[in-house]
């Protein structure tokens, strides 16, 4: 038997619960941040909860500024503009406030503010992260306002290289926020579509981590419970956005998915990334569309795992039963069954396949993601072809 060898890491301090946003000034002080830059997106910057957070900082005597030029899929230009704002305001830390885009952008701004090399020198390849100057990385406090990406408990950020139209993962251990505030009251304003999309992103993280062939039993345990929380509580949060209990469980599920996917992701993400980069689709919803097609493709390698997962979820322990439950969940959340709903076009199928197989998440797929296999999955997701494969 081959010896088991692995590297494991788990997240940072998390302050979980309703109204914990009130502890933001205390968290800033603990992190040594005296002059934060709050990074968010344009839509969120206009909302009352953001204004209330800024008012709280003012009342606490904490000088601050806001940077909100962040796209739904953050670009290098967004990060560079944020770095300029950070330096111009002489800030010493970042509050990453919002969904996955704001969290990733905020972390990348804090990371790059003190670097002299280009951002692409720190892509998550081998030990490239060691090229960074650690003393130039500003501390981060993360306040997620969605329940999906789990970027708040991660050590990386995703950004689009506008020159190549590809999503890149930038990694450094010090990109991990010093403190995460998981306050479900901050997610109450999410519309149903975003609730569904971000929740399905959390599901994709745990599901792909669980299916990954890497050895990480602790991640497996976290993943299966994260999946259970999504199946039980996402429909409730979708139906009633004011359900604080369901919102809280979904925030936990999102953080659990991010903790679990250090084990690996797979073809759901490696196909979703190029589609999002080329068509600016919602990442979680794109994952949700690809999910059943990837599962069916991976079935020979994951069937026994899915049977065990089904039993844990309290459904008939079979691959078919799990797929049926997943399709029902997607339908209940009004997730489109095909990519065509996002105006994705077939003329870029070859480019998408070529981008997918070199995406850093492709290596975690349970079976090798070849160009031909990526094309098959893409075509099925375009046509909605699933039943004939079972």
CATH of the domain at 151: 3.40.50.1970
Residue 244 within any structural domain of the chain:
yes
If asked whether residues 92 and 128 sit together in one domain, one would say yes
Residue 99's φ and ψ, nearest 5 degrees, are -85, -165
Task: Confirm if 65 and 90 have CB atoms less than 8 A apart.
Answer: no
Number of helical (H) and strand (E) elements in the chain, helices listed first? 13, 8
CA distances from 51 to 55, 66, 97, 285 (A): 6, 11, 12, 28
So what's the pLDDT on residue 388?
55
User: Among the three residues 153, 187, 221, which one is the final residue of a domain in this structure?
Assistant: 187
200 and 183 both lie in a single domain: no
Radius of gyration of the chain (CA): 20
CATH of the domain at 304: 1.20.1090.10
Sheet containing strand 179-182, edge to edge, reads 13-16, 179-182, 140-144, 93-98, 36-39, 65-67
Q: Quick one: 182 and 199 in the same domain?
A: no
Say if residue 126 is in the same domain as residue 146: yes
CA–CA gap between residue 346 and residue 69 (Å, rounded)? 31
Asked if residues 336 and 237 have their Cβ atoms less than 8 Å apart, the reply is no
Residues 124 and 227 in one domain: no
pLDDT at residue 253 is higher than 60: yes
Quick one: average pLDDT of 248-277? 95
Domain shared by 276 and 327, yes or no: yes
Assess whether 310 and 256 both reside in one domain: yes
Name the residue range of residue 78's domain. Answer: 13-187
Residues 129, 242 share a domain: no
Q: pLDDT tens digit string along 39-79?
A: 999 999 999 999 999 999 999 999 999 999 999 889 999 99
How many domains does the chain contain in total? 2
Element (H, E) at 292: helix 283-313
Number of other CB atoms surrounding residue 120 within 10 Å: 15
Has residue 318 been placed in a domain? Answer: yes
Closest CA to 98 of 43, 31, 29, 23: 43
Residue 6 falls inside a structural domain? no
Please give the pLDDT value at position 106: 98
**310 domain-assigned:** yes
- pLDDT-derived band at 219 (thresholds 50, 70, 90) equals very high
Predicted local confidence at residue 11, as pLDDT: 82
The model's pLDDT over 96-124, given as tens digits with 9 standing for 90+, comes to 999 999 999 999 999 999 999 999 999 99
Confidence of residue 1 (pLDDT cuts 50, 70, 90): very low
User: pLDDT tens across 297-345, in order?
Assistant: 999 999 999 999 999 999 999 999 999 999 999 999 999 999 999 999 9
Lowest-confidence region among 224-228, 235-239, 386-390 = 386-390
In a domain, 1, yes or no: no
Residues 175, 198: one domain? no
Predicted local distance difference test score (pLDDT) of residue 73? 86
- Residues 216, 178, single domain; the answer is no
Euclidean distance between CA atoms 229 and 347, whole angstroms: 38
- Strand-pairing partners, residue 37, are 65, 94
Q: Residue 232 in contact with residue 342, Cβ under 8 Å?
A: no
Note whether 93 and 232 are same-domain residues: no
* C-alpha count within 13 angstroms, C-beta hemisphere, residue 1: 3
Residue that terminates a domain, selected from 187, 212, 228 = 187
In a domain, 5, yes or no: no
Alpha-carbon gap, residue 206 to 256, rounded angstroms? 7
Domain boundary among the residues 169, 187, 205 is at 187
Question: Average pLDDT of 149-164?
Answer: 92
In a domain, 64, yes or no: yes
Say whether pLDDT at 37 is over 50.
yes
């Amino acid at each position: 038997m081959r010896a088991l060898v692995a590297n494991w890491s788990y997240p940072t301090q998390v302050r979980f619960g309703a109204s914990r946003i009130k502890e933001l000034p205390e968290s800033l002080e603990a992190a040594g941040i005296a002059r934060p830059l709050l990074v968010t997106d344009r839509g969120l910057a206009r909302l009352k909860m953001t204004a209330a957070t800024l008012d709280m900082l003012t009342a606490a005597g904490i000088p601050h500024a806001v940077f909100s030029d962040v796209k739904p899929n953050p670009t290098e230009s967004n990060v560079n503009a944020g770095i300029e704002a950070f330096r111009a305001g002489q800030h010493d830390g970042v509050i990453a406030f919002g969904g996955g885009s704001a969290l990733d952008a905020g972390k990348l701004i804090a990371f790059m503010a003190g670097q002299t090399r280009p951002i692409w020198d720190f892509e998550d390849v081998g030990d490239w992260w060691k090229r960074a100057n650690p003393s130039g990385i500003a501390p981060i406090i993360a306040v997620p306002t969605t329940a999906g990406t789990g970027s708040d408990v991660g050590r990386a950020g995703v950004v689009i290289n506008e020159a190549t139209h590809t999503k890149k993962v930038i990694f450094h251990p010090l990109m991990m926020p010093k403190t995460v505030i998981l306050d479900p009251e901050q997610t109450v304003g999410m519309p149903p579509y975003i609730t569904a999309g971000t929740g399905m992103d959390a599901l994709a993280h745990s599901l792909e981590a669980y299916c990954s062939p890497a050895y990480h039993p602790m991640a497996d345990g976290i993943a299966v419970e994260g999946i259970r929380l999504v199946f039980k509580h996402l429909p409730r949060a979708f139906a009633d956005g004011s359900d604080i209990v369901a919102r809280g469980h979904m925030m936990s599920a999102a953080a659990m998915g991010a903790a679990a996917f250090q084990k690996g992701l797979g073809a759901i993400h490696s196909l979703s990334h190029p589609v999002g980069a080329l068509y600016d689709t919602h990442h979680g919803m794109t994952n949700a569309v690809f999910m059943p097609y990837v599962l069916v493709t991976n079935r020979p390698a994951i069937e026994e795992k899915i049977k065990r997962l089904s039993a844990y979820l309290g459904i008939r322990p079979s691959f078919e039963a799990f797929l049926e439950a997943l399709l029902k969940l997607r339908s209940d959340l009004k997730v489109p069954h095909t990519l065509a709903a996002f105006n994705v076009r077939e003329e870029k199928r070859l480019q998408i396949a070529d981008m997918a197989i070199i995406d850093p998440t492709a290596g975690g797929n349970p079976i090798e993601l070849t160009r031909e296999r990526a094309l098959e999955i893409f075509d099925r997701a375009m046509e909605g072809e699933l039943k004939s494969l079972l």
